[in-house]
Amino acid sequence: MESILKVEQLTGGYSPRRPVLHDLNFELKAGEMVGLIGLNGAGKSTTIKHILGLMNPHQGQIKVAGVTLNESPQQYRSAFAYVPETPVLFDELTVEEHLRLSGMAYNVPGGDYEDQASKLLEQYQMVPKRKAFASHLSKGMKQKVMIMSALLASPPLYIIDEPFLGLDPLGIRSLLDQLVEVKRSGAAILMSSHILSTVEAYCDRYIVMHHGKIAAQGDLDDVRRTAGMDAGNGTLEDAFYKLVAGGVS
């Protein structure tokens, strides 16, 4: 399967003297959803910032759709859409203007844009709010705008940081259904979340981060094995707890 995201020997952080990430190696292939999990401060968001190109690696390299950011910034950036942990919206744009901006930025054809935007607005129960400014939206609604903008772009890679925060139960269901759909259509998804039961149910593989390092990665049995548990026995949460706290659940 085609590799969409490849992180090789990534060491990075805010200061060259104090790296936060240490020698990360992982890969996402087309059509798979990977859960990025870890405690607060484990390095998940810093990893995501490096992938987005907001931070420069101290060592190692990141390739999205086969290129590094320096090789082809446009190709690199066109290949992913990002949903941040805290919704970052433009105060001066309405909900539907955010979708329009996203459509323009990702070069969505005009006809497709109209269809997709209408579908998304309905799916996320945002039709009555389509003319509302960001400052008049609840946190969950803001998150829905972020998710709709990412889905509208239809890129080969989705980078989603804590997508469920503030979402109502219908919003969570819509998002998960849609992630399954985009995965089937061949996109890769890197999703960071603390809701381990959902991550376990929907992701194909997991990357467990602890103190800026990858403590375990692979499918559920791989993670269990690394945590010292038997294959086929115990949940992701059990394995995670053992890996990061050394505890017995």
Partner 1 sequence: MTSANHEPASIWRTRARDFRNEIKPYIRYMAMSGFPSFLSLVLIASAIGYFTLLRDVPADFPIVQVGVIVLTPVLCWSPMRTYLAAADVVYLMPREHEMGPYLRSSFQRTILKSVFLAAVVMLLFLPIYRQAGAGSEMVWIILAALVLKAANAAGGWQERKLAWNSIRLLLRSARWLLTALAVAAWLTAMPWQALLFTVLCAALAWLCYRLPQRHRLPWERLIAEEAVTRRRYYAFFGLFIDVPVLPSSIKRRAYLSWLLPRIPFVHRYTFNYLFSATLFRSEIGGILIRLLLLGALVNYMTADAASLSGWVTAFVYALFGIVFSLQLGGLRSVHRYSVWKHVYPLPEDKQTDQLVQVDRAALSAGLLLLWLPAALPLLLKGISAPPIAMLIGALAYVAIRPMRLRRKVKSDADED
Total site size for partner 1, rule CB under 8 A? 28
**Shortest CB 245 distance to partner 1, Å:** 32
Q: Which residues of 75-113 are buried (b: 16+ CB within 10 A; e: fewer)?
A: ebbbbbbbbbbebebeeeebbbebbbebbeebebeeeeb
Handedness of CA 195, 146, 60, 212 (dihedral sign): negative
**Shortest CB 46 distance to partner 1, Å:** 14
DSSP-assigned letter for residue 86: S
Binding to partner 1 (CB under 8 A): which residues in 182-201? none
Nearer to partner 1, 16 or 73 (CB): 73
Beta partners for 133?
A: 94
Is residue 30 classed as helix, strand or coil in its secondary structure? coil
Q: Which residues of 20-38 are buried (b: 16+ CB within 10 A; e: fewer)?
A: bbbebebbbbbbbbbbbbb
Q: Report the residue from 5, 46, 82, 210 that binds partner 1 according to the rule CB under 8 A.
A: 82
**Shortest CB 180 distance to partner 1, Å:** 24
**Shortest CB 193 distance to partner 1, Å:** 20
Beta partners for 10?
A: 24
Handedness of CA 40, 41, 42, 45 (dihedral sign): positive
Nearer to partner 1, 97 or 168 (CB): 97
- Could you tell me if 1 and 31 are in contact, meaning their C-beta atoms sit under 8 angstroms apart? yes
Nearer to partner 1, 113 or 206 (CB): 113
The pattern of x and - marking residues 123 through 162 that bind partner 1 according to CB under 8 A reads: ----------x-x---------------------------
The pattern of x and - marking residues 86 through 105 that bind partner 1 according to CB under 8 A reads: --x-xxxx---x--xx-xxx
The pattern of x and - marking residues 14 through 53 that bind partner 1 according to CB under 8 A reads: --------------------------------------xx
Written as six digits, the tokens of 104 are 């323009």
Q: Which residues bind partner 1 (CB under 8 A)?
A: 52-54, 73-78, 82, 84, 88, 90-93, 97, 100-101, 103-107, 110, 113, 133, 135
